[in-house]
Amino acid sequence: MCTAERAPLAGRHFDVLVIGGGVNGVAIARECACRGKQTLVIDQHDFASGTTSRSTRMIHGGLRYLEHLEIGLVRESLRERERLLCQSPHLVRPMQFLLALSNEHRPLMRSSLAIRTGLWLYHSWAGGQRQVTPNYELERQLDAGRSWSVFSYEDAQCEFPERLIAEWLTEAVTAGATARNYTRLLQVLVRNGRVTGARLRDMLTGKEFEIIAHQVVNASGPWVDLVAKASGLKSAQMIGGVRGAHIVLPQFHGISGTGVYTEAVDGRPFFVIPWNGQVLAGTTEVADSGNPDNTQPSADEVEYLFKSFSSLFPHAGLSRADIRYSFAGVRPLPYSPGKKMASITRRHIIHNHREDGVSGMLSIIGGKLTTAMTLAREVARELGIHVKEPANIFAAPAPANGVESSFRHWARLVACKAGIPESCAQAVAGWHGRHALAIAQTASFNPKLRLPLCEHTCHIVAEAAEAVRHEFAVTLADILLRRVPVALGACWSEPCSYQAASRIGCALGWNESLINTEFERFEAEREKFLHPGDYRVPHPPAVVNG
């Protein structure tokens, strides 16, 4: 492993224990810590390695929720989208979308007037600050053999929610929280119907120990029921896991800068989005009650996604052989037997286990990247913490060129401080924002830290060093998939992995044996997560949505 021995937790006292280091858990831990509560956040694997890293990577208001009349959820999501655009402009950026609907068999409720009205409301509820520019070049790439109604609107994208979680985690720890990945909950300790602490296992050392905690938040996503069961809680089933798969393809003409929201071959919502110099297409909806640790896309899902993509863009010049990789995650939606998956609410639910005879424990059902901070405030209030709603985000919009000006300024400072090309400095600033200056400071001391992680990237070894020292990265996979996620790029290969392992190891003082061990473990985790391989052989079509 990459990190030094961790300080012991046995016997320590915490006001709040948060189980789960995904977007919801880290947001809750950050909120509690910032309100003065002694907070511990744990994850049995790495932070952001579950559902958070397997999403469509959008920060959106949920245009589809309008069809299900979840008006409150849409307005809340749009408010939070605008906050994230202001608070994390280097990671969350506006994206133009085409809403492309085939006129064949389009239901009456989707008349052009109804759609335009919905889009106008969507734009207005978001503050109506930015202009939407149609992408006619991409529109011309749509299947010309079908009749389309095409509309333009705006949402946002977080290409790397893993980076957002790393920043929130750092802010939580700065406020006093303790963060511990590779730490598994074994049991929530209860006395006289009240939470008193937890029994945990350090997965790196195998040691088991107990901590004292007055309140526990189970924010483990698709693992929520497993955590409750392991703790002996007699609660009804809370989660109805729904698997969502994606495929990643090369970019094609016209796609740059604009996403497409349309319908898949079976009529359900389907996104094609430029992402990380590639194209992300998804997603599916498949009931999945298995162990979330083993989630992977089926061959049926990959075939369904590529068929939906190629029917939309038949002239993109891409075949199954061009699929670079696929991945899948489980959405922790509310258990809703007999209900269509598309109609299950995406609104989060806070379950208080006081109803099950245990006071001081909450479980989080559902939730999404966009509204994680709203959930965090609600959970804090449920825990008895006084939290005000943040100020109106629309009161003082930032200048149109303010974000880009700041970004260019950071990049120039980083280039000057670290002694690296400005193009590389822009890459570092794009993932780290203001913290890029600290990375530049680190890089300035050692030429080994200024080296690129591999020959295909501008990202440097100093970013990996900061990930280990300040962002709780433990393994090479933590670094290359989540803190400095270069291994999600188009050109990454096994030689890149070994070169990165060697350069990081050299800078951090690893011996040859540790470099080889971390390299092999990384390749195994990357294979399990991304499933790179040969997708040339088509699979017989199957139903992959509920």
pLDDT of residue 404: 61
- Going from the C-alpha of 461 to that of each of 261, 448, 503, the distances in angstroms are 37, 7, 7
Q: List, run by run, the mean pLDDT of 10-residue segments along the chain (546 residues).
A: 77 98 98 98 98 96 81 91 93 95 66 84 84 87 90 96 98 98 97 96 97 98 93 88 96 93 92 97 93 93 97 95 96 91 88 94 95 97 94 55 65 87 92 92 93 95 96 97 97 96 96 97 96 72 53
Provide the token pair at 100: 């492309």
Q: Is the peptide bond before 170 cis (omega within 30 degrees of 0)?
A: no
CA dihedral of residues 538, 542, 545, 546 (deg, nearest 10): -170
Selection from 435, 500, 58 nearest residue 269 by Cα:
58
pLDDT of residue 197: 97
Residue 57: left (phi > 0), alpha (psi -120 to 50), or beta? left
**Residue 384 CB contacts under 8 Å (≥ 6 apart), including other chains:** none
pLDDT of residue 397: 47
**Residue labelled with tokens 């570092």:** 428
The backbone torsions φ and ψ at residue 285, rounded to the nearest 5 degrees and listed phi first, read: -140, 100
pLDDT of residue 532: 87
Q: Is 299 exposed, middle or buried (0-12, 13-18, 19+ CB in 10 A)?
A: middle
3-state secondary structure at position 142: coil
CATH entry, 13-51+162-237+346-382, from 3.40.50.450, 2.20.28.120, 3.50.50.60, 3.40.47.10: 3.50.50.60
pTM: predicted TM-score of the whole model, two decimal places: 0.94
Q: What gap in Å lies between CA 252 and CA 316, rounded to an integer?
A: 6
Q: What gap in Å lies between CA 320 and CA 168, rounded to an integer?
A: 38
Q: What gap in Å lies between CA 223 and CA 443, rounded to an integer?
A: 39
**13-51+162-237+346-382 with 68-159+240-334: one CATH topology?**
no
Q: What gap in Å lies between CA 218 and CA 229, rounded to an integer?
A: 12
9 and 178 in contact (C-beta within 8 Å)? yes
pLDDT of residue 399: 45
Domain spans of the chain, in order of start: 13-51+162-237+346-382, 68-159+240-334, 404-510
28 and 375 in contact (C-beta within 8 Å)? yes
**In 10 A of CB 478, how many CB atoms?**
30
Q: What gap in Å lies between CA 202 and CA 8, rounded to an integer?
A: 10
Q: May I ask the CATH class of domain 68-159+240-334? A: alpha beta
Q: What gap in Å lies between CA 426 and CA 418, rounded to an integer?
A: 12
Provide the token pair at 250: 């090369």
Rg (Cα) of the chain, in Å, rounded?
A: 23
Selection from 295, 364, 298, 362 nearest residue 332 by Cα:
364
**In 10 A of CB 527, how many CB atoms?**
12
pLDDT of residue 117: 86
Q: What gap in Å lies between CA 404 and CA 425, rounded to an integer?
A: 14
Provide the token pair at 243: 């698997």
Q: How far apart are the first and last CA of the chain?
A: 41
pLDDT of residue 434: 86
CA dihedral of residues 527, 530, 533, 538 (deg, nearest 10): 140
DSSP category for residue 185: E
**Residue 406 CB contacts under 8 Å (≥ 6 apart), including other chains:** 89
Exposure string over 52-76, b if 16+ CB within 10 A, otherwise e: bbbbbbbbbbbbebbbeebeebbbb
Selection from 127, 128, 94 nearest residue 393 by Cα:
127
**Cα dihedral across residues 328, 329, 330, 333: positive or negative:** negative
73 and 126 in contact (C-beta within 8 Å)? no
Provide the token pair at 173: 């720890």
Provide the token pair at 253: 């003409």
pLDDT of residue 4: 58
